[in-house]
Structure 1
Amino acid sequence: MAFHKLLDQVGGLGRFQILQLIFLCISSLIVYSHILLENFTAAVPGHRCWVHILDNDTISANGTGLLRQDALLRISIPLDSNLEPEKCRRFLHPQWQLLHLNGTFSNTSELDTEPCVDGWVYDRSSFSSTIVTEWDLVCQSQSLKSMAKFSFMAGMLMGSIISGHLSDRWLAESARWLIITNKPEEGLKELRRAARRNGVKNAGDTLTMEVLRSVMQEELEAAKSKPPACDMFRIPNLRKRICLLSFVRFANCMSFYGLTLHLQHLGTNVFLFQILFGIVTLPANYIALLALNHLGRRISQILFMLLVGIFFLTIPSVPQDMQTLRLVLSTLGVGFSSAALLCSFTHGNELMPTVIRATASGIIGIIGNIGAALTPLLMILTVYSPHLPWIVFAVFSILAGLVIILLPETRNRPLPDSLQDVENKKKGSRKAEQEDISIKVTQF
């Protein structure tokens, strides 16, 4: 556990690390914006059935052109329970008698209606064109919109699997990982490069192979017997960690993307929702860092996940006409979900030993992306009940918060380097704390 000494020699948190962080942030911003586009490219504008007497440009030739649009709409489209024009049905024949109701509406449910056999008319005031208007993904075909979102998220999942191997061509490897995986020469090269970027002079004189071997002696000895990736599932304690972390990440991603990908299910002004969702993530992540530093990894995640579950149960119960309250609750829900996701990343990385940290993090990330990809499919459940998807999100969030209790705390604890560190964690935890009491490698 002496790698922190080498980091001190290369300048600690300097220009090299900051530049890498900036480049990673830029790439993340570019990718994330494409995900958010689904809220606009797949938006469902207001719509109703196309009606011959109302929408045919040549209709004025038979005399009905003298009637106003609202009158023609009244005799052509039935009203729903909110006294708004039906979106998926029209009268089989024009109901001329409705013109004489003088603003009062009788029960029109008994009149003959039919589906929108001739297509739909869309309100293009906010969205001139979306995949919904192009392919008529409404009414009986509304579930296909969720399938389109699922296809996008599934493509992102496959891309993360394939591109993970390609990323090694452009990203600098972790010096610690290179040393632990029995590549000390390459690790030393990365350390020297970091030192030069940080402005440390004479790095070649202080960072030598002899210094590296003396500082990292125990880690290099353990690296001589590099374990295969399948060994992570043979050790009960490590297998338990991976399974629990995968479930937590699955629930985290499901709750986060369940909110951010379905703005129209939350309120009418998707533009305002998107702006506030983007703004709230900044203070939410800062609050998450404070919680991780003061409350620890487990308590922070439990708190945030339980709050997310509560908000998922609360939002659907708020009436649609109370848009301000729905906006506030949804924004807070996204903030807590974002904070929980940050805590999950931190806790997961600190629980995995260095020799398989990249592989284990990749597996956990894939499970999380599966949860994100499933969120559009869960929204199909709104056909049966508008509250059902949110209840599912809430159940997974609350269960994830309870599952975290089974994971060990990592705040102010040394990072595990080998599989043996995890295997013998319970037996030698007290002894390790006494020997390494001065090493606080996981404190922010």
Structure 2
Amino acid sequence: MGFADVLDQVGGFGRFQFIHVALLSIPGLLMASQNLLNNFTAGMPGHRCSVPNRTSLALSHNVSLSELSDAQILQAFIPTADGSRLSKCRRYTEAQWHLVGTNVSNVTEADTETCPDGWTYEKTEFLKTIVTEWDLVCALGPLRRMSQTIYMGGVLAGAIIFGGLSDRFGRRALLIWSHFQLATLGTCTALSPSYLAYCILRFLTGMSVSGVILNAFSLQMEWIPTKSRTVVGSIASFFFTVGQVVLAGVAYSLRDWRQLQVAVCAPFYIFFICSWWFSESARWLVLNRRSAEALKHIHRVARINKRPEMVEKITLEVLESHMHKEVQSSTTVFTAYDLMRTPVMRKISVCLIFVWFSTSFAYYGLAMDLQKFGVNIYLVQLIFGAVDFPAKLGALMALTFVGRRVTQSACLFLSAIVIFANIFVPAELQTVRTALAVLGKGFTSASFTCVYLYTGELYPTVIRQTGMGFSSTMARVGSMAAPAVLILEDVLPALPSIIYGGSAVLAGILAIFLPETLNVPLPDTIEDVEEKCKDEGDAIKDQGQRQTVAMEDMKENPEVDGKATGLNAL
């Protein structure tokens, strides 16, 4: 007896659950845009030092400019790098007119200076980005990546803060607030007058992203019957996949970063309005001594699911009798310490820390610097998004028929294999390297699909949001660390891939030690988790003892055992 029985009585997966899941999943179309937005708003266009215009040159130089092309003027002002490319960060202090029309493209002894008149940017891929807005190139180039690290820091802070607050104040209230915060601060980011203001607003937007993801997921799972969780969790993740494809199209249409910022954030005002329709988690309400309010929501679900007769049958006494054990344990105030206090919870939390970290570490290591693939960035984003469809379909099948534990571990091991394989592909085979990166991204995406569902099923209701926030915090640490590891390419080109792959292997091994949750009711208390694993351990122990006894009987009376074995075979 438990809340799962109540859900079955009010219609299982009925009309309410369908609407509920749809409204909670649709924002996922733009949630992927938030995390990957930096690929486009902070895109690095081709650039070089600005040179004086023809009018200025005519007044200050005794040179006939009418016969000179733009390329020849650049030859006089911009030195070359690597023998052919124009330098991006330096120009000659004095124009080298004697180089025009010659095969000599560089003068090593000529004095150069950092671009005194600023930079000129190509506008083939981007019209305007934060790079062109605040000249985040050359010496200021690291600030471009820093903006993404700051955003991920906000996502990290949000996972910690909103995870704990939602266990205390409810999933619905925090989800409504997170939608409003994302819409308001995300839109205001487009009005940033400076790089500092931009980073602050992106940090706060990142916090709200965590609030939306964590609370939407918990509200989904806590109103869904046990047998429907796998399909619902996987389908919900497809909205994130479609969102990556949508981002490629929106970014291609709006190549001004301010317009793009508004386009992916303003729709959350609509989601904010829709979120008032949601019902608070009845599980959470009962466990927080608000059973009367939970009963109202259950009756509402029964009416929407066309089970009005259950309004009379499910009373406060019936509800509390179904969840008597859970109510008794709800007097305790739970904190992050409780994730490590008991043996089974400690094992689950430690394993999930590595799984979340490694999944995010590898995912963002592949997905956050699309320009390194040397082809059209919008096309790469489209391909990276499209590969998630078959990857998540495969994950859905495996989650349904194989189980969570094997699927989670397999996704991590396969991603590690692909990452390691890319080490041995020569740099000139760019197409092969890109294809392997796309494949690796697909496996890490499937791992994300599994770990979101798996984590929600492993942690009990009384501390589910704290657990989700704690675990996903490690994912944010991974997403912040992933770009930093790329710096190690200067030491050894293969070193980042070795670290990404090694981390995935370690997480894949630890995932094997997690309990299986396929077709298992959601636990409501920490005691449920501990008892379940204890029962599994006792069952394994009893089975081992029976096998030992059978072996001893075989030794003592092999003839009888042989006949029994023959009968069993028949």
Q: What TM-score bracket applies, with the shorter chain setting the length?
A: 0.7 to 0.9
Inter-CA distance 382–172: structure 2 relative to 1 (3 Å threshold): farther
| Structure 1 contact 150–377 (Cα < 8 Å) conserved | no
1:47 alignment partner AA: H
- Compute the TM-score of the two structures, normalised by the length of structure 1: 0.84
Query: Is 2:108 the partner of 1:123?
Result: no
Inter-CA distance 376–57: structure 2 relative to 1 (3 Å threshold): farther
| Structure 1 contact 49–88 (Cα < 8 Å) conserved | yes
Structure 2: 5+ residue runs without aligned partners?
A: 177-277, 542-570
Aligned to 1:336: 443
Structure 1 residue 338 displacement after superposition: 1.2
- Compute the TM-score of the two structures, normalised by the length of structure 2: 0.67
Inter-CA distance 225–156: structure 2 relative to 1 (3 Å threshold): closer
2:371 alignment partner AA: Q
- Give the length in aligned residue pairs: 428
| Structure 1 contact 146–380 (Cα < 8 Å) conserved | no
Aligned to 1:19: 19
2:128 alignment partner AA: S
Among 455, 459, 462, which residue is 1:355 paired with? 462
Among 284, 301, 307, which residue is 1:177 paired with? 284
Structure 1 residue 216 displacement after superposition: 3.5
Structure 1 residue 160 displacement after superposition: 4.5
| Structure 2 contact 45–123 (Cα < 8 Å) conserved | yes
| Structure 1 contact 39–262 (Cα < 8 Å) conserved | yes
**Residues 22-81 of structure 1, C-alpha deviations (whole Å, 9 max, x = no match):** 1222223333323332111100011123345xx554224532522223333334433333
Q: Superposition pairs for residues 94-243 of structure 1, below 5 Å?
A: 94-95=95-96, 98-99=99-100, 101-102=102-103, 108=106, 110-112=108-110, 114-118=112-116, 119-163=118-162, 165=165, 168-169=172-173, 170=176, 171-220=278-327, 222-223=328-329, 225-226=331-332, 228-229=334-335, 230-243=337-350
Inter-CA distance 286–19: structure 2 relative to 1 (3 Å threshold): same
Inter-CA distance 162–412: structure 2 relative to 1 (3 Å threshold): closer
Aligned to 2:260: none
| Structure 1 contact 267–326 (Cα < 8 Å) conserved | no
| Structure 1 contact 143–380 (Cα < 8 Å) conserved | no
**Residues 368-414 of structure 1, C-alpha deviations (whole Å, 9 max, x = no match):** 22322344444555666665544443332232222212322222444
Query: Is 2:179 the partner of 1:73?
Result: no
Structure 1 residue 239 displacement after superposition: 1.8
**Residues 346-387 of structure 1, C-alpha deviations (whole Å, 9 max, x = no match):** 221222123222221122122322322344444555666665
Query: Is 2:379 the partner of 1:268?
Result: no
Distance 2:411 2:93 in 1: 52
Among 282, 286, 291, which residue is 2:393 paired with? 286
Structure 1 residue 312 displacement after superposition: 3.5
Query: Is 2:166 the partner of 1:59?
Result: no
Aligned to 1:442: none
Aligned to 1:441: none
Distance 1:68 1:317 in 2: 45
Inter-CA distance 172–431: structure 2 relative to 1 (3 Å threshold): farther
1:336 alignment partner AA: F
Aligned to 2:408: 301
1:74 alignment partner AA: Q
Identical columns (%): 39
1:11 alignment partner AA: G
Distance 1:420 1:162 in 2: 25
2:84 alignment partner AA: L
Structure 1 residue 110 displacement after superposition: 4.3
SS in 2 for 1:58: helix
Which deviates more, 179-188 or 402-411? 179-188
Aligned to 2:527: 420
1:69 alignment partner AA: D
Which deviates more, 244-253 or 55-64? 55-64
| Structure 1 contact 147–376 (Cα < 8 Å) conserved | no
**Residues 186-242 of structure 1, C-alpha deviations (whole Å, 9 max, x = no match):** 33222212111212122212222343344444444x435535323332213212211
Which deviates more, 23-32 or 133-142? 23-32
**Residues 241-295 of structure 1, C-alpha deviations (whole Å, 9 max, x = no match):** 1122122112222222333322112333111111222222233222211111222
Aligned to 2:41: 41
Aligned to 2:270: none
SS in 1 for 2:332: coil
| Structure 1 contact 175–190 (Cα < 8 Å) conserved | yes
RMSD, matched Cα: 3.1
Distance 2:348 2:443 in 1: 23
Structure 1: 5+ residue runs without aligned partners?
A: 435-444
Inter-CA distance 390–91: structure 2 relative to 1 (3 Å threshold): farther
Distance 1:14 1:317 in 2: 52
Inter-CA distance 307–237: structure 2 relative to 1 (3 Å threshold): same
More helix by share: 2
Structure 1 residue 124 displacement after superposition: 1.7
| Structure 1 contact 157–373 (Cα < 8 Å) conserved | no
Structure 1 residue 90 displacement after superposition: 3.5
Inter-CA distance 431–387: structure 2 relative to 1 (3 Å threshold): closer
SS in 2 for 1:90: strand
